[in-house]
Amino acid sequence: MGWAIALHGGAGDIPVSLAAERRKPREAALRHCLKVGVNALKAQKSPLDVVELVVRELENNPHYNAGRGSVLTREGTIEMEASIMDGNTKRCGAVSGLTTVVNPISLARLVMEKTPHIYLAFDGAERFAREQGIETVDSSHFITQENIERLKQAKEANRVQIDYTPPIQKDEKKETPTANGDSQLGTVGCVAVDSHGNLASATSTGGLVNKMVGRIGDTPIIGAGTYANNLCAVSATGKGEAIMRGTVARDVAALMEFKGLSLKEAAAYVVEECVPRGNVGLVAVSAKGEVTMAYNTTGMFRACATEDGHSEIAIWPSVQN
Amino acid sequence: MGGWAIAVHGGAGVDPNLPPHRQEEAKKLLTRCLNLGISALRSNHSAIDVVEQVVSELETDPLFNSGRGSALAANGTVEMEASIMDGNGRRCGAVSGLTTVKNPVSLARLVMDKSPHSYLAFSGAEDFARQQGVELVENEYFITEENVGMLKLAKEANTIVFDYRIPAVGSDTCSAVAESRFQMNGLPISVYAPETVGCVVVDSQGRCAAATSTGGLMNKMNGRIGDSPLIGAGTYACNLCGVSCTGEGEAIIRGTLAREVAAVMEYKGLGLQEAVDFVIKERLDEGFAGLIAVSNKGDVACGFNTTGMFRGCATEDGFMEVNIWE
């Protein structure tokens, strides 16, 4: 039994032909965030601190759909949400509808620690952010050109995009087009366990491209996008509506508890049986220091490491040898 | 068994000294709503239609904490939330932060049926309501004198009031408060009690549905979301059962209470009552809550670890019961 950590930057129909200039910065970010997390675990930081730290890094990275780099609502605005959960105590915090908070995951943590509530949203959450003195900036800080493009395409196609597909370059070929041409990415998250079996999970997102203003997805919903108890910690990504009705994060833990499945079996079962194909991915760690990363999409930006030296950074299914 | 079944609730956690006339009032309302549901079920309405209709009726009545009669947020306004789930297909809809929508549960249904999403909140939800042409009213419509009084008390005590119960007499109740041993969310039950509403139904086709609606905690921070609109926490329905919870929101959320009942049935093979008992006993830690549930087999069950829960249930074979205490 040792520490373990896993993080994701979104599951979806990531084309294997993804251009290098799009793939490399994301891989580099995964590598960097994994390192941040591993170093923190080695320095004996609590898993709760570790997952917050890693998700903050992902939020700050403009290539992922969280914090800076968040996708845009149909009005071209930013509405971010996040949640965090501590496995030991099952204390949790969640936020939605943030427009100026640089690190939504940190505000979620403050809700957990500084209020008698679990979940604050929109104006009330923004007001709380100011009371707490957490870093806020003008909303334009979060908006990237890529996302302006994505919104434009989504509007042209009149669809809500579950992802942030690379804005289509004329010469880019997509090898695996889905029925509606979207690749499905979105949301970042991190789960961690220390050598004492303490678990934590954190998830953060800008939501769906072209979503209705006020739309809340699975990310801030405890049991859907985020869950941690004394058995495991789970963070999910994909189509929010599907993850919500599938209570994905909770179900992984429930299968372990009630059916005695292992972490890997439970995660595989949930992504294969509980949510339609092409809709979900998740990362999870167990109290025993195991790690699993499962998805039913073409790929998932992900990384993991365990104390015994294993580490992995990947986008598509790993080749088994 | 088999056949339809229905249960309604008006909150878990009741002051043991609740005056008899208040108890009667509550039982009358529960009976009326139950009969509304029974009538609809006998006319072969689907479970999803019935839960919406019944919760809508509870919202319209000012007695419990939903729709009109909702608890007040810190700034004296009403912010309502609700969710609804159709076990047949597990589609769901939820809303939060509503201030002008007369029937939150109906808007939640529209989110489920008429939007590409499952959960809309605050101004986005209000915009959607306008587009859908649902009945809108001024925020004052929802505010009752009783609740204005309760908010004042809560602020004086500078604590969150769980839901509300008007003290029979000011100073007498203060001493009663001091003597009351049962507390929820750190407050004595004689003054503060939760009264979220909900309904669960299994129709004659074995389809389950659930819906929950609330104004939330008295004196809550504006923007605070509780368990009622959260799928898996306050509300859940699948092909096996329908569940609606009430009580300490924070405890219900971390216990993912509604989903839990279904999960133990699904993954452990427990029957409905066993599942309900298990969840109430094992999943609440120091929290206080109650829930109602129906199964696709036509069973109905309720469970609570609070002093009392306003509830009523009925099954097709003629069984009917409205109760407050154990």
Where exactly are the structural domains of chain B?
5-69+83-89+192-217+224-317
Q: Which are the catalytic amino acids of B?
A: 196
- Asked if the Cβ–Cβ distance from A124 to B231 is below 8 Å, we say no
Side chain identity, residue B261: V
Looking at residue B139, the DSSP 8-state letter turns out to be G
Q: Which CATH architecture has domain B5-69+83-89+192-217+224-317?
A: 4-Layer Sandwich (3.60)
3-state secondary structure chain A: CCCEEEEEEEEECCCCCCCHHHHHHHHHHHHHHHHHHHHHHHCCCCHHHHHHHHHHHHHHCCCCCCCCCCCCECCCCCCEEEEEEECCCCCEEEEEEECCECCHHHHHHHHHHHCCCCEEEHHHHHHHHHHHCCCECCHHHHCCHHHHHHHHHHHHHCCCECCCCCCCCCCCCCCCCCCCCCCCCCCEEEEEECCCCCEEEEEEECCCECECCCECCCCCCECCCEEECCCEEEEEEECHHHHHHCCHHHHHHHHHHHHCCCHHHHHHHHHHHHCCCCCEEEEEEECCCCEEEEECCCEEEEEEEECCCCEEEECCCCCCC
pTM of the model: 0.92
Average pLDDT (A241-265) is: 97
Residue B157, pLDDT above cutoff 60? yes
A180, HSE (Cβ side, Cα atoms, 13 Å): 16
Return phi, psi of residue A141, to 5°: -55, -30
Name every chain A residue with its beta carbon within 8 A of the beta carbon of B94: 216
Q: How far is A276 from chain B (nearest CA, A)?
A: 12
Parallel, antiparallel or unpaired: strands A291-295 and A299-306: unpaired
What does the pLDDT read at residue B285?
A: 86
pLDDT at B192: 56
- Does the pLDDT at position A181 exceed 50? no
pLDDT attached to residue B183? 65
Ligand-binding site membership of B247 (annotated): yes
pLDDT (tens digit, 9 = 90+) per residue, B85-138? Answer: 999 999 999 999 999 999 999 999 999 999 999 999 999 999 999 999 999 999
Chain centre to alpha carbon of residue B244:
7
Q: What is the pLDDT of residue B182?
A: 65
- Residue B267: list chain A partners with CB under 8 A: 254-255, 258-259
Whether A308 contacts chain B with CB within 8 A: no
pLDDT surpassing 90 at residue A29: yes
Give the closest residue to A294 by CA, choosing from A2, A17, A39, A6: A6
> How far does A112 lie from chain B, in Å, by closest CA?
10
As for the ipTM of the complex, it is 0.92
Task: Note the pLDDT tens digit of each residue in A258-304.
Answer: 999 999 999 999 999 999 999 999 999 999 999 999 999 999 999 99
Contact B160/A216, CB-based, under 8 Å? no
Subunit contact A119:B253, Cβ cutoff 8 A = yes
Q: What is the pLDDT of residues A62-99, one digit of tens each?
A: 999 999 999 999 999 999 999 999 999 999 999 999 99
Please report residues of A whose CB lies closer than 8 A to that of B233.
Answer: 222-223
Angle (deg, nearest 10), helices B104-114 and B47-60? 150
Looking at chain A, which residue has its C-alpha nearest residue B255?
Answer: A90
Hey, CA dihedral for A258, B245, B107, A212, is it positive or negative?
Answer: negative
Write down the pLDDT at residue A186.
72
pLDDT category at B17 given cuts 50, 70, 90 is confident
CA distance B319 to chain A (A): 32
**Catalytic residue numbers of A?**
187
Which residues of chain B neighbour A245 with C-beta distances below 8 Å? 85, 90-92, 118, 231
Annotated ligand binding at B248? The verdict is yes
pLDDT of residue A174: 34
Banded model confidence at residue A179, pLDDT cuts 50, 70, 90: very low
